[in-house]
Structure 1
Amino acid sequence: MQTALILEDHPDSRKWLAGILSEALPGVTIDAVDNLERAKRQLQQARYDLALLDISLPDGNGTNLIRQIRAFNADTYVVMATIYDDDDHLFAALKEGAQGFLLKDQPRERLVEQIQGITRGEPPLSPSIARRVLRHFRNVATATPSPTADQTGLTAREEEVLRLLANGYKRCDISSALDISSNTVAAHTKQIYRKLNVSGRAEATLQAVRLGVVDG
């Protein structure tokens, strides 16, 4: 992560978030703006590895910026940083393509750790948000029959890797647990993402819960 965009309208919060990013990702170059229009202009001028977006802004909803970010750079890692933890805001952001959702009322050190987790392939989700997401999909699974892992085309080994991924294991840990190389883990992970039609660990975890590969 070499470049980051912060969209936050409150000056103190903007400075605070910039400090968190600098601590979590040493050497990162940060552009910080206070409204959607300035953010859109920045996207036309620079490409970002990470975007940290507030939701409630003077000129609109930060969630509405996600599609434009994707249009300029599909690889930008988008994380919402907000005080809102209700289902409406959460699932609207995830539906638009947010890859993380952090609550700003957490301790600074926890936010630093969650941002650092991005570089390790760990989706940045505040604990209460993760529980809410898993509960939502567990309720959906209860209401609607879910496909089995067999129906997705996952092999037995891929299901094992998915189970460990969903439980937060790092690639090296999965390698040790299954006695396979790190490159083999990476290859299995790529196949899992393709077969489940997901783009990252967070979505794969949700699918693992929905499929019953892990408990919610």
Structure 2
Amino acid sequence: MAGMTKVLIVDDDALVRAGLTMMLDGADGISVVAEATDGADVPGTLDAHPVDVVLMDIRMPKVNGIVATQQVRARANPPEVIVLTTFDTDDNVLKALRAGASGFLLKDAPPSRIVEAVLRVAAGDPILSPHITRRLMDQVVTSADAYTTARTALSALSPREHEVAVAIGQGKTNAEIGAELFVSVATVKAHITRILTKLSLGNRTQIALLTHDAGLS
């Protein structure tokens, strides 16, 4: 198992679990080490089977994927979460991203796309394109409370970190941000790391959502 990306599949549909397990176990560098039928089973399963990536269904009968994602990301050294959905217009996708998911996949995505997504998030790379992130954010109207909370949170950033956060919210890549601010990509990544730490966020998608709530992107 050394060097393998270990995966937990969480879905109440036995056929979906079986198909994903067969697909991922047949891919180089990936091993499905456990399955769960509901979000309620996730904490105990992770205690018994530590993994790198969780493939999480959104709609489940007892504990849904949004709540389960929050619980996963609150753990010490949490695995990455990719949520599974039938429709990419589902507003629950945005809720799952706010909860800390690294991205989402449609259940009918090509096998190669699913394998690529698992390996990428395990390596710390985002799987949501800026375009998709913007489209999801544009579906919602920010409440007054969310606006105030976001503005307060962002006030903890330095001026340069604030610029980087806003650029992320505008859908810009690290290379584009670096060119705009006349700094290296490595410097941009360092700013992002500090932003995530200061704001207690898990990934750049959550930064983008926060700047959206603050009315800055």
Identical aligned residues as a percent: 27
Which residue of the partner structure matches residue 183 of structure 2?
Answer: 180
One of 27, 33, 36 as aligned partner of 2:35: 33
| Unaligned segments of structure 2, at least 5 residues | none
Counterpart-to-counterpart distance in 1, 2:22 and 2:189: 33
Which residue of the partner structure matches residue 46 of structure 1?
Answer: 49
Which moved further from structure 2: 64-73 or 199-208?
64-73
* Mapping of residues 65-214 of structure 1, within 5 Å: 65-66=68-69, 69-70=72-73, 73-83=76-86, 85-87=89-91, 89-90=92-93, 93-94=96-97, 96-118=99-121, 119=123, 121-124=125-128, 131-136=135-140, 139-140=141-142, 152-166=155-169, 167-170=171-174, 174-214=177-217
SS at match of 2:139: helix
SS at match of 1:140: coil
Compared with structure 1, are the counterparts of its residues 151 and 55 closer, same or farther at alpha carbon in structure 2 (3 Å cutoff)?
Answer: closer
Counterpart-to-counterpart distance in 2, 1:120 and 1:22: 21
Compared with structure 1, are the counterparts of its residues 210 and 111 closer, same or farther at alpha carbon in structure 2 (3 Å cutoff)?
Answer: same
Counterpart-to-counterpart distance in 2, 1:28 and 1:190: 27
Shift of 1:4: 1.1
- Post-superposition CA distance 1:85-110 (Å, at most 9, x none): 533x4465456543433332444455
Counterpart-to-counterpart distance in 1, 2:45 and 2:86: 24
Compared with structure 1, are the counterparts of its residues 196 and 123 closer, same or farther at alpha carbon in structure 2 (3 Å cutoff)?
Answer: farther
Runs of 4+ aligned residues of structure 1 deviating over 6 Å after TM superposition are: 125-129
Kept after mapping to 2: 8 A contact 1:79/1:101: yes
Compared with structure 1, are the counterparts of its residues 140 and 20 closer, same or farther at alpha carbon in structure 2 (3 Å cutoff)?
Answer: farther
SS at match of 1:135: coil
Amino acid aligned to 1:86: D
Shift of 1:149: 8.9
The structure with the largest helix share of the pair is 1
- TM normalised by structure 2 equals 0.69
Shift of 1:205: 0.6
| Unaligned segments of structure 1, at least 5 residues | none
- TM normalised by structure 1 equals 0.69
Counterpart-to-counterpart distance in 2, 1:145 and 1:65: 25
Say how many residue pairs are matched. Answer: 209
Shift of 1:201: 0.6
